[in-house]
Chains A and B, each alone.
Chain A
Amino acid sequence: MSDDAPVDGSLDVSPEVHDFMNSLEYNSKISEGTKLALFKEQRKNDIFQFGFAVGYSKKLDLLFLKSQDRKTVAPRGFPYDAYRTILQEEAIERKMSIGGLVSAYADAGLLHLKQELEAGKDLMEIMGF
């Protein structure tokens, strides 16, 4: 890796988004079937990557919210190299770490999703499926 290459960086989201991520988790023993859940429990990493996909694919504006309240997403098993493949140039351009860039997109994507769902939009409509 050259000296210009962006570092991996940490993964984190805003508390609001973190709460929203919890709401998307499903526990078959306690969850109601009528409450929409999209991921199995203990899969924050997957929700995080989904949020990135929403934000990145929709080219959402990055909020760059920096606060002490940022909630870390466990980076274990996060494929930095894979994301580097697609984000390196942008990270260099924005002078951000890979993790930072991914987090920004994920934060934006999940918040967008939350807002849209709360606004009564259908999931598939939101996703453009």
Chain B
Amino acid sequence: MRLHYLVLSDIGPFRGRHVFDFSTDDEQASGFAFFAKNGRGKTTIYNAMKWALFGYVRQKSKLVNNIVVEGSNRPIVDEKDFDNMLMNYNAWQDDSPQQMSVLFIAKGEFGELQVQRTASCSAMARKDKDFDVELSVSLNGTSFSGTAAEEEIAKIFPIELERFFFIDGEEVEAYTTMMKSSATGIIDDIKSILRLPSLTRGIEDLKAIREGYDSAIQANDQKQARDARASDKARQLFGQLSAVRKQIAELQNEVERLTERKSGLADEMSKHEELRLYAEEKLVVQAKIDMLEKSLHTSLETLISEFSSAGNVLLWDLLGPRYNAIQQENDANQNRRFELDSKKRERSNLQSTIQAFASICESCGQEVPDAEVHLSKKKQELAEIEETIQALESKGGADPRVLRQKLTAMEKHFMPNAGSKERIARAYAHYKDQVTEFENLAERRANLADLVSDDSTQEIQALANKIAKTDQVLLKKEKELKDARFKEDQLDRQYRSAKPSDVDDDGIEEVFHLRDTIKKFIVAIQDTVKSYSDRATGEVQTEASKVFKELSNAPDAFEGIRLNKQFKARIYGTDGRPVVGASSGMEVIMTLSIIDALRTVSRLDAPVFFDTPARSLDKDHTNGMLNYFWRADRSQFLIFAHTGEFTVEEILEDDLAQFNKAWELIWPEDVRGVSCIHCGSTNISRAGKGKSTCADCDKITDSSERQTYAKEVVLNE
């Protein structure tokens, strides 16, 4: 990828729109440089490219316990630290709407690429979240935005490779330390540039897909097991269903046969229709007679049972009144005897009282005043009782025992039960009715016997029996047929429910095939990763050694750089031993050599942005580095040099004018009283404090203005 244009708008110290044209006549030109004092925007250009590509700019990373700790993202605006923010301060403060954007146009194997990232806010933004950041990418005329745009950029410039194309001189020493100690961070970076993570991710993706297929296969196995069980049940049900269907067919045949037979018998019976009616009546009559005979016996037995008291019923008409009279006599006797017993007890008591009388009151125990009168009164009472007793005894009457015996005998032998007469009459009437009915039926039977002979009756009877029997069997078979059909429906439903659904064998075969293919892919990629890793390590080592020897002051003294499996780097001497006590400059060169080797091995053709490249190098190494990187066969190499590191004059003098384009980034104060900041003309005149007016372009140069102006350096032809 070669950068053709870079357009900055209101970013860093660049107020308004600034266009950098990197296009050259020589398509292989690789050298580009920016020279500036502090604050003029070197790092802003470096960061602007990062922001356009990745959407963020990190603060410088730090090395903590040999681990690279990435810096936090730099804000677009920062109310507390204006120097740290990305957006141009005046644009933030003065413009409405506020907007910052970076646009670049590049070309490469992919074609022409235009990337523009814009942060804009319609009001006064206070925080980054107030901005709408939009990315638009145009690749060969096709536009992308949002995530699709990010993906297009990632295809061309993977974010993992950032560290190797955006090199910060201030961080090179940290890189060196990491490489020497093979810290984890740099290993990951190195693996990234070798594209190993993507391959590994590819393996993981494939494994995930394979697991998906494994699950599908496992589910299929389980389903097959279930289907097998279901098939067993379905087979069993199918067997039952077949048996029932066979039974149905047999029953249908049987029903048809019986229906035909019934029809035939009915036809035959119709020929004897008249006789049949008589025969049937004869049978009915006979059946009634048979039934009535049994009933008659029962009725007669009932009558006999009830009739056992018929004699007593008759007798009681005479004996009943006699029985009542005896009972009354008996009752009178009983009463008289009761009264007699009572009077006798009274007499006995009174006699005892008279004998024991001693002139003392029985109640109060006091002496009775008129004792003689009292005694005389008692004796009078006794005499009255005696009279009563004699009167009662004289009445006499029948012997109560005899009366009782008579009553008992009559009750036991002659007294009928209540309602006997009615029951007898009822039983007799019922019996007589039945006898009448029986006689009528017998008469009808005799008449019918004259009309239809017993042979004919038997014949018709036999026919009727056949019809009835056929009908009975037919009904039974029809019921069996109905039941069988019901069972068939039931079994059919069960069978359909149990029957496993058709298995998509082709589908699972495809899954098996895909899983096996993916397995092979995984093995192949794993092999490739290992092989590529080994080969890439060798290539990096070879390439790094080559670069190192080119950049080194004493190439003959070194064999080159060796990397172990953990990418721990060491400089080796020609004696095959690691160099002990290498200078810091030598180690920085080692680091740059490895970075360049990694970039070469990654086969990614992209510009290299090197901020403050000479920070850790002495002049010889710096010159060597620039000579190497600014070769015509290299990718674009952009340095952002502090005027303390390089000046244009120095580079030109040192014949390092291998670069193709260079710019000076200046503020008005850098040309104060010397030239016009706008056109470079020296034809200026003082126009107030710190200001001058250009006679050629009529523009004012205000030295108090802290805005950067890019001034392209005129190189030696």
Q: Which residues of A contact B (CB under 8 A)?
A: 26, 28, 31, 33-34, 37-40, 46, 49-50, 52-54, 56-58, 79, 81-83, 85-86, 123-124, 127-129
Question: Interface code B299-321, partner A: CB below 8 Å = 1, 0 otherwise?
Answer: 11101100110111111011100
Sampled A-B contacts (30; CB under 8 Å): A26-B300, A26-B301, A26-B304, A28-B301, A33-B296, A33-B300, A33-B438, A34-B435, A38-B303, A38-B310, A39-B304, A39-B308, A46-B308, A46-B311, A53-B311, A53-B314, A54-B311, A58-B314, A79-B409, A81-B409, A82-B409, A82-B410, A85-B405, A85-B410, A86-B410, A124-B424, A124-B425, A124-B428, A128-B314, A129-B425
Question: What are the residues of chain A within 8 A of B322 when measuring CB–CB?
Answer: 86
B421 at the interface (CB under 8 A from A): yes
A53 to B318, CA, bound (A): 10
Question: What are the residues of chain A within 8 A of B318 when measuring CB–CB?
Answer: 56-57
Q: Among the listed A38, A52, A85, A129, which residue makes an inter-chain contact with B409, where contact means beta carbons less than 8 Å apart?
A: A85
* Contact in complex: B425, A86 (CB < 8 Å): no
B439 at the interface (CB under 8 A from A): yes
Question: What are the residues of chain A within 8 A of B317 when measuring CB–CB?
Answer: 57
Beyond A26-B301, A34-B438, 5 additional pairs, beta carbon < 8 A: A34-B435, A50-B310, A57-B317, A123-B428, A127-B314
A53 to B307, CA, bound (A): 13
* Contact in complex: B311, A52 (CB < 8 Å): yes
Question: Interface code B396-418, partner A: CB below 8 Å = 1, 0 otherwise?
Answer: 00000000011001101110000
Question: What are the residues of chain B within 8 A of A56 when measuring CB–CB?
Answer: 314-315, 318
Question: What are the residues of chain B within 8 A of A57 when measuring CB–CB?
Answer: 314-315, 317-318
* Contact in complex: B319, A86 (CB < 8 Å): yes
A128 to B296, CA, bound (A): 24
* Contact in complex: B307, A39 (CB < 8 Å): yes
Question: What are the residues of chain A within 8 A of B425 when measuring CB–CB?
Answer: 124, 129
Question: What are the residues of chain A within 8 A of B300 when measuring CB–CB?
Answer: 26, 31, 33, 37
* Contact in complex: B412, A127 (CB < 8 Å): no
Q: Which residue of chain A has its CB nearest to the CB of B432? A: A122
Q: Which residues of B contact A (CB under 8 A)?
A: 293, 296-297, 299-301, 303-304, 307-308, 310-315, 317-319, 322, 405-406, 409-410, 412-414, 421, 424-425, 428-429, 434-435, 438-439
Question: What are the residues of chain A within 8 A of B438 when measuring CB–CB?
Answer: 33-34
A81 to chain B, nearest CB (A): 6
Question: What are the residues of chain B within 8 A of A129 when measuring CB–CB?
Answer: 313, 421, 424-425, 428
A58 to B314, CA, bound (A): 9
B297 to chain A, nearest CB (A): 5
Q: Which residue of chain A has its CB nearest to the CB of B296? A: A33
A5 to B300, CA, bound (A): 42
Main secondary structure of the interface of B (DSSP, over half): helix
Known: A82-B413, A82-B414. A53 touches B315 (CB 8 A): yes
B137 to chain A, nearest CB (A): 122
Question: What are the residues of chain B within 8 A of A46 when measuring CB–CB?
Answer: 308, 311
A17 to chain B, nearest CB (A): 15
A37 to B311, CA, bound (A): 15
Question: What are the residues of chain B within 8 A of A53 when measuring CB–CB?
Answer: 310-312, 314-315
Question: What are the residues of chain A within 8 A of B297 when measuring CB–CB?
Answer: 28, 33
Known: A39-B304, A39-B307, A79-B413. A85 touches B406 (CB 8 A): yes
A85 to B413, CA, bound (A): 11
Q: Which residue of chain A has its CB nearest to the CB of B412? A: A82
A52 to B425, CA, bound (A): 20
Known: A28-B301, A53-B310, A82-B412. A34 touches B296 (CB 8 A): yes
Question: What are the residues of chain B within 8 A of A34 when measuring CB–CB?
Answer: 296, 435, 438-439
The 7 closest A-B pairs by CB, nearest first: A33-B296, A53-B311, A82-B413, A50-B311, A57-B314, A82-B409, A53-B314
A88 to B296, CA, bound (A): 42
Q: Which residue of chain B has its CB nearest to the CB of A129? A: B425
Question: What are the residues of chain B within 8 A of A52 when measuring CB–CB?
Answer: 311
A28 to chain B, nearest CB (A): 6
B204 to chain A, nearest CB (A): 107
A82 to B323, CA, bound (A): 13
B553 to chain A, nearest CB (A): 152
Question: What are the residues of chain B within 8 A of A83 when measuring CB–CB?
Answer: 413
A124 to chain B, nearest CB (A): 6
A33 to chain B, nearest CB (A): 3
Q: Which residue of chain A has its CB nearest to the CB of B413? A: A82
Q: Which residue of chain B has its CB nearest to the CB of A59? A: B318
B299 to chain A, nearest CB (A): 8
Q: Which residue of chain A has its CB nearest to the CB of B318? A: A57
Q: Which residue of chain B has its CB nearest to the CB of A86? A: B319
Q: Which residue of chain B has its CB nearest to the CB of A43? A: B308
A110 to B319, CA, bound (A): 20
Which of A31, A33, A53, A129 has the most B CB atoms < 10 Å from its CB? A33
A32 to B709, CA, bound (A): 151
B4 to chain A, nearest CB (A): 137
Q: Which residue of chain A has its CB nearest to the CB of B434? A: A33
A56 to B316, CA, bound (A): 11
A50 to B429, CA, bound (A): 20
Question: What are the residues of chain A within 8 A of B410 when measuring CB–CB?
Answer: 82, 85-86
Question: What are the residues of chain B within 8 A of A81 when measuring CB–CB?
Answer: 409
A53 to chain B, nearest CB (A): 3
A83 to B312, CA, bound (A): 12
Which of A28, A46, A50, A56 has the most B CB atoms < 10 Å from its CB? A50
A29 to chain B, nearest CB (A): 10
* Contact in complex: B293, A37 (CB < 8 Å): no
Question: What are the residues of chain A within 8 A of B304 when measuring CB–CB?
Answer: 26, 37-40
Question: What are the residues of chain B within 8 A of A37 when measuring CB–CB?
Answer: 300, 304
Question: What are the residues of chain A within 8 A of B307 when measuring CB–CB?
Answer: 38-39
